Amino acid sequence: MQATTQFIADRNPEKFASLLKLYPEALKIKESQKKKKKGESLQELDKWYQEELGQVANSRKPPNITRDELVRLMDWKLSRGKFRPRLIELAGSNSNESVQNASMQGIELAKKSKIGDAVKALVILKGVGPATASGILAACVPEKCCFFADEVAKAIPSLSSLKYTSVEYEVLNSEMADCAQLLNSLAKQGDEKENGNETWTPHKVELAVWTHSILHQNKPELLSNLNEKRSCTEEEEQVSKAKKQKK
């Protein structure tokens, strides 16, 4: 994880933007490593999770998710990580009312930046630990919360030995939020080409870091290509500046 740790530490807006674009490639790699299962594929679940769940949940007054959405989110989480079918059964054993009430409180607290309290409000549900709670929060409040992904957490030096606690999640989320804030600040100082025209959130940062980790382990040549392209771009910029100075 040292390379991914360094990637986070570099806080390079252009590299982060490039990695975020490669997320679909990393997802394909992850799916290819998993045994095929019945039901929706990881790519189908991920599209729903990334593009639809938060939008639908936030369209409700007040924002919340349903039991069926919790079960589907659990399927997504386990399809991307270690598969434990018992957790899907436990998630489905919650009443719809309890899921709506807990998620309502959790989302509201997260929007107020009370991340620890938001997790506590969600883990009262059966089958829901801090990691699953973070999945709800990252989908519904991405501007404040990231997902507790193994590959991302293990790239944080202080989280090398995970116990999947709410305290660990708060540490991880704080790292991703700080990184997002700095990337946005650096991007304003650069140009559109450098920042990828992104507004960074903790969840977007987490996705880029996850992508780096997956590619570093499975397809490092893609990362090498990015570094080569950056070197070429830097050389071109230096030549351009030199020409302007001569004029």
Structural domain spans, the chain: 2-231
Measured distance CA(188)–CA(72) in Å, rounded: 38
With pLDDT > 70 as the criterion, what percentage of the chain qualifies? 88
Whole-number Å distance between alpha carbons of 186 and 190: 7
Mean of per-residue pLDDT scores for the chain: 89
The pLDDT value recorded for residue 34 is 85
pLDDT band at 197 (very low <50, low <70, confident <90, very high): low
Q: How far are the Cα atoms of 38, 192, 213, 247 from residue 132, in angstroms, in the given order?
A: 21, 35, 20, 59
Banded pLDDT at 2 (limits 50, 70, 90): confident
The percent of residues above 90 in pLDDT, for the chain, comes to 77
> For the stretch 30-64, what's the b/e string if a residue is b when 16 or more beta carbons lie within 10 angstroms of its beta carbon?
bbeeeeeeeeeebeebbebbbeebbeebbeeeebb
Higher-pLDDT residue of 117 and 2 is 117
Q: What is the model's pLDDT at position 198? A: 79
Q: How far is Cα 59 from Cα 57, in angstroms, rounded to an integer?
A: 5
Residue type, 10: D
| pTM of the predicted protein model | 0.89
Q: Which residue has the higher pLDDT, 213 or 38?
A: 213
Would you place residue 231 in the very low, low, confident or very high pLDDT band (cuts 50, 70, 90)? very low
Q: How far apart are CA 45 and CA 41, in angstroms?
A: 6
Is pLDDT at 54 greater than 50 in this prediction? Answer: yes
